[in-house]
Structure 1
Amino acid sequence: MTTSVLICDDSGFARRQMARSIPDGWDVDIHFAENGKEAISAIKQGKADVMFLDLNMPVMDGYQTMQIVKEQDLPTLVIVVSGDVQPEAHKKMLSLGVIAFIAKPIDNQKLCEILRQYGLYTGEATSQGRSQNVLVVEPRSQQSELDAYREMANVAMGRAGEQVAKLLGEFIQLPIPNVNLITNNELHMAISDVKSSDSLSAVSHGFIGAGINGEALVIFNDANFSTMGKLLKYHHKSTKEEYELEVLMDISNILVGACVNALSEQLHVTFSHNHPIILGRHCDIDQVLETNSQRWDKILAIEIAYAINSQDIQFDLLLLFPGNAMELVYEKLVKHTH
């Protein structure tokens, strides 16, 4: 008997990855949705005996989608496939009725085990996915490139958010990464949301490996230092400057470390890290960008605006890759998804 499977994810790159991960021996009819609103409609049309659901999506996210599934008792078994791997996200979605939670990038072996556990797939567990009729990568275009970079950032963002959530004991609100191909002169546009703050502090972490070099900027609104320090249970040092510096460096080291490790896993590249550099303390964003020594002509800029809503804290992670590194990143993403 054929099973209707719905893959709901705003990323075409991620949808194709998920479709290829479905075991060859499972008799399925695959459908796609780009957001929760489309997914609810598909479920009501009988196209989702099983749904693979992302969490961070526009229009209607995974949390809102599951709330409707639960309230309306819609006939679908839901497995979350997400870059958000925070324990709180797991707990919340399980309470809404999902049967399992798989972290991106998807582990084919784990997927098979979950399907077998719930009697959805009775074939042998395998590390190989569907070999036919599913292409991971669309014909190359700027849109397909941005989609691939955004999905890469989504996974890295989730890993970094998980580490900071554990450190601070708070749920981190994860956004949809903002991905742009820009020139150096347009760099300030990539972090326009940050610019609204009058006073910022920022630190830069460079990384390089296999010909791919990049830079990670962590940008804090100054108003957040005191609250972050309390969450970290830090005691004031002899000076306010030392206290703020410790908060800035500890958060940025954990955030960037987890993010770059996730990039490393996806690209199959080992990155080495440069010593972090303070770009500015208590200054505006233009001063931060002036201090930044990178002067690349073409830049892949990925902005991730984290938030801890319960504490009114916002901080940004900005990943920057020059044009030559960008090409290598795309090649490796494509290579390792086949």
Structure 2
Amino acid sequence: MAAVPLLICDDSNMARKQLLRALPEGLELSVTQAENGRLGLEAIRNGLGEVVLLDLTMPEMDGYEVLAAIQEEGLDTQVIVVSGDVQDEAVRRVMGLGATAFLKKPANPDELREALSQCGVFATGQGPIEQPGADAAINFNDAFRETVNVAMGRAAALLAKVLHVFIELPIPNVNVLEVGELHMALADAQRGNQLTAICQGYIGEGIAGEALLMFHDSSLPDMARLLRQEYRESSQSEMLLDLSALLIGACLSGIGEQIDLTFSLSHPQVLGEHARIEDLITLNRHRWKQTLAVEISYSVEGYDIHFDLLLLFTETSLARLKGKLAYMMN
């Protein structure tokens, strides 16, 4: 029996490794990997993806664009979307673009087996097939970025239900930053706009930090309309505190579930209203000397709403996080 050409298309080494490990035993497969949608589409055109495991949020060409190109070109392939973006609208869109199935990250092996069977790929009973790359070592940044990717998708799905919108998800940035580099990252997030920032501390099993959620002031009137509230400056802090508690809590909960810990959160506080980024840095310079920084920039489709979430883990949390993620990295 000829091996089935299977393509795994995901920008994360960690995600590709997880999928390789989740493949059922006894499958006759010829596996190709692609790190973005453009390379994935080329592989499909070359006959290397009779079945495709496709991520949605990728550089150069995302999963939606790949699905649209497959339809437009009439390519002979079956696509199983495997994504951290679990918004109901995301599922509806990919199925409308011809996907055979949708699985949330990290893929459950039983659900993956069922999805592959829908594509006509069944185990032969001949024992496990060695998959190239399944045992490759993964660096910490990639492992943690994929953990954050899954968590931010769950947080976005919750926010999408509250606001009745579609949240456009970015590729999260994960870096260890000195205070000067953090200043530049925050300045880039500001993009010339004034901000209202909410700060919330968190801690769990020796892992601690601060979440900083920055709302562009131009987004506030649209945000109030989505919440069916009259926009008044006197009530905007309460609105943003509620949204911050929801988004920060959901994101940290998603991280915690994957690394088996529970975060305790302080009460969110308004750090600055209509402030320039220099003011926020001045207020907190003593706390931000070096940090593991996670940056997520959310947008709401069809609205002028943009907000940036920064998770700033303390320098001493890094070793503990590496220990928690060691089973993923090896």
Q: TM-score, normalised by structure 2?
A: 0.92
In the other structure, the counterpart of 1:21 is 22
Question: Could you tell me how far 1:197 is from its partner in structure 2?
Answer: 3.3
In the other structure, the counterpart of 2:186 is 191
Question: Could you tell me how far 1:235 is from its partner in structure 2?
Answer: 4.1
Q: Deviations over 1:99-144 (max 9, x none)?
A: 11111122122112222344322479xxxx97876445526xxxx2
In the other structure, the counterpart of 1:324 is 316
- Cα distance in structure 1, aligned partners of 2:191 and 2:11: 28
In the other structure, the counterpart of 1:9 is 10
1:258 partner letter = A
Equivalenced residue count is: 327
Question: Could you tell me how far 1:217 is from its partner in structure 2?
Answer: 0.8
1:45 partner letter = N
Contact 1:190–1:301 (Cα < 8 Å) also in 2: no
Q: Which runs of 5+ in 2 are unaligned?
A: none
Cα–Cα, structure 1 residues 279 and 123, in superposed 2: closer, same or farther, change >3 Å? farther
- Cα distance in structure 1, aligned partners of 2:48 and 2:290: 43
Q: Deviations over 1:197-245 (max 9, x none)?
A: 3321111111111111122111001121121111011246xxx344201
Equivalent of residue 233 in structure 1, options 228, 244, 266: 228
Question: Could you tell me how far 1:181 is from its partner in structure 2?
Answer: 1.4
What secondary structure sits across from 1:7 in the alignment? strand
What secondary structure sits across from 1:260 in the alignment? helix
1:210 partner letter = E
1:110 partner letter = E
Contact 2:144–2:174 (Cα < 8 Å) also in 1: yes
In the other structure, the counterpart of 1:164 is 159
- Cα distance in structure 1, aligned partners of 2:170 and 2:287: 28
2:137 pairs with 1:138? yes
Cα–Cα, structure 1 residues 277 and 294, in superposed 2: closer, same or farther, change >3 Å? farther
What secondary structure sits across from 2:249 in the alignment? helix
Q: Deviations over 1:156-202 (max 9, x none)?
A: 11111111111111111111112221112321222333222332111
Report the RMSD for the aligned CA atoms in angstroms: 2.1
Question: Could you tell me how far 1:308 is from its partner in structure 2?
Answer: 1.4
Aligned counterparts, 1:49-68, within 5 A: 49-68=50-69
Cα–Cα, structure 1 residues 136 and 90, in superposed 2: closer, same or farther, change >3 Å? farther
Q: Which runs of 5+ in 1 are unaligned?
A: none
Cα–Cα, structure 1 residues 80 and 165, in superposed 2: closer, same or farther, change >3 Å? same
What secondary structure sits across from 2:306 in the alignment? strand
The answer to which of 308-317 and 287-296 deviates more is 287-296
What secondary structure sits across from 1:71 in the alignment? helix
Aligned counterparts, 1:237-276, within 5 A: 240-276=232-268
Contact 1:17–1:337 (Cα < 8 Å) also in 2: no
What secondary structure sits across from 1:310 in the alignment? coil
Identity of aligned residues (%): 43
